[in-house]
Amino acid sequence: MINDAGRMSAAEFSARYGLEGGYLSGSNRFFERVAQVPAAWNRMLFYNGDLFHSADIAAPARLSADPRTGRLTLNGFFTCRPAAR
């Protein structure tokens, strides 16, 4: 499925897997939502990037590229190691 998502057109992918394009906003037959964090002003989340994840955007039509009204996100990548003992 992951490989197909990168090489198939959206129409081919939808026909094969029965999924429409867009943000995943719950569970389906392939993925189970196991956690949800509500949006809040000035909130920062850290999670293991190896986990499949998706923004929880119930109304994509409300997204805006205008920085005065849009949703600002920062995606960062960190490498962490346990402290030496």
pLDDT in tens, 31-51: 899 999 988 888 888 888 788
State the average pLDDT over residues 62-76. 82
More confident residue, 6 or 56: 6
pTM, to two decimals: 0.63
Exposed / middle / buried, residue 57 (Cβ in 10 Å: 0-12, 13-18, 19+): middle
- Write phi, then psi, for 5 (nearest 5 degrees): -60, -30
In whole angstroms, give the CA distance from residue 49 to residue 20: 24
The confidence band for 17, taking pLDDT boundaries of 50, 70 and 90, is very high
Predicted pLDDT of residue 16: 95
Residue 11, pLDDT > 90, answer yes
Residue 82, pLDDT > 90, answer no
Both tokens assigned to 22: 């867009």
Closest residue by Cα to residue 72 from 55, 84, 85? 55
Closest residue by Cα to residue 18 from 35, 36, 30? 30
